[in-house]
């Protein structure tokens, strides 16, 4: 499974879009990109995943570059409740999920 690299921390103003980057330059053609978040004292929460195409659901949008070497998770209108650690994971179907240390997002009032 490809290694992912994320910035350790980011800030975002409340109501603005939060754009969280992830680098996965060694990703293979069959590896999916998953995003999770973890709010303090809770288990990781699944957000979204994709392979090649951009994806959107009620929580967020996932933009994957054409070469698939990086992706961006977009929270369109960040709220204080979005303050959490966000994890980007690249995983081959059927393989284990490896969570790194993620990006700590702080939404500022």
Partner 1 sequence: DVKVTQSSRYLVKRTGEKVFLECVQDMDHENMFWYRQDPGLGLRLIYFSYDVKMKEKGDIPEGYSVSREKKERFSLILESASTNQTSMYLCASSYGMSNQPQHFGDGTRLSIL
Q: Which residues bind partner 1 (CB under 8 A)?
A: 32, 34, 41-46, 49, 51, 93-94, 96-102
Pick the closer one to partner 1 by CB: 49 or 61: 49
Report the distance separating Cα 28 and Cα 91, nearest Å.
Answer: 9
Pick the closer one to partner 1 by CB: 83 or 102: 102
The least CB distance from residue 47 to partner 1, in Å, is: 9
The least CB distance from residue 51 to partner 1, in Å, is: 8
Report the distance separating Cα 106 and Cα 29, nearest Å.
Answer: 33
The least CB distance from residue 32 to partner 1, in Å, is: 6
């Amino acid at each position: 499974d490809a290694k992912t690299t994320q910035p350790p921390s980011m800030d975002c103003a409340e109501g603005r879009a939060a754009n969280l980057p992830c680098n996965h330059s060694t990703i293979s053609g069959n590896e999916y990109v998953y995003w999770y978040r973890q709010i303090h004292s809770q288990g990781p929460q699944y957000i979204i995943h994709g392979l090649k195409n951009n994806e959107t659901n009620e929580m967020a949008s996932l933009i994957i570059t054409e070469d698939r070497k990086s992706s961006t998770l977009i929270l369109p209108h960040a709220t204080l409740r979005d303050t959490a650690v966000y994890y980007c994971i690249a995983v081959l179907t059927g393989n284990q999920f490896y969570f790194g240390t993620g990006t700590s997002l702080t939404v500022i009032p």
